[in-house]
Amino acid sequence: MKLNQPELVDLLKMAYSAEKAAAFAYIGHAGAVKNPEEKMAIRQIELDEWNHRQEVLQIMQKYDIPVSKYYEFRFHVIGRIISASCYIIGWFMPFYFAGRLESGNVCEYFRMMHMFHSLGIKEHDKVLYEMGIKEKEHEVYFLEQIKTNKMLPFFEWLFSWGKKKGFNDIDLEKKYSIEESAKYCKK
């Protein structure tokens, strides 16, 4: 079955490739931190990103959506640059920008779900929901690591993400069920 929804097709292609960039970035991030617990947590997040990439690929294959060579190249380079930069930009910025990135990624999976629903397709709800919630868990982890850092208020003001600002409306303490999750990320 082919999807007649160009925006959804592009979002799937981009998500597939962007997950590789995120995984590469977390390889560098985990390598650059000294704390063993942080290193293990970031390594697990990297593994989650590789898993998300595989899940997105399975959806793409179901609809005969080819992998974008452009996105693969672009996000490969971005991921490698971010990975290398983690060794030189200090401790705070990799945590901050990882959290900010994850905050934006949360809604990508819920937007995909909304688009599939507009086509009458609900079979991917569980996996898209789980990936969106996992991205939120990543965001919360990174924010927890930096929430008391004196640079956070300035970065939050400059980059619009932090304790008071985010890019999604998910509250892990009051999660909607999969069936109600269409309420997420409507903005």
CATH of the domain at 99: 1.20.1260
The pTM score is 0.94
Q: Is 101 a domain residue?
A: yes
DSSP output for 107-168: HHHHHHHHHHHHTT--TTHHHHHHHHHHHHHHHHHHHHHHTT-TTHHHHHHHHS-SSS--S-
Q: Is 18 a domain residue?
A: yes
Report whether 113 contacts 124 (CB < 8 A).
yes
Q: Is 122 a domain residue?
A: yes
Q: Is 162 a domain residue?
A: yes
Output the pLDDT for position 145: 97
Q: Is 1 a domain residue?
A: no
Q: 177 is in which domain, residue-wise?
A: 6-183
The total of structural domains in the chain comes to: 1
Q: Is 146 a domain residue?
A: yes
The residue type found at 39 is K
- In a 13 Å sphere around the CA of 102, the CA atoms on its Cβ side amount to 29
Residue found by looking up tokens 């969106």 in the block: 132
- Alpha carbons 89 and 108: distance in angstroms, whole number: 28
- In a 13 Å sphere around the CA of 68, the CA atoms on its Cβ side amount to 19
Per-residue pLDDT of the chain (187 residues; tens, 9 = 90+): 889 899 999 999 999 999 999 999 999 999 999 999 999 999 999 999 999 999 999 999 999 999 999 999 999 999 999 999 999 999 999 999 999 999 999 999 999 999 999 999 999 999 999 999 999 999 999 999 999 999 999 999 999 999 999 999 999 999 999 999 988 998 7
Nearest to 60 by CA among 96, 114, 13, 129: 13
Q: Is 12 a domain residue?
A: yes
Q: Is 70 a domain residue?
A: yes
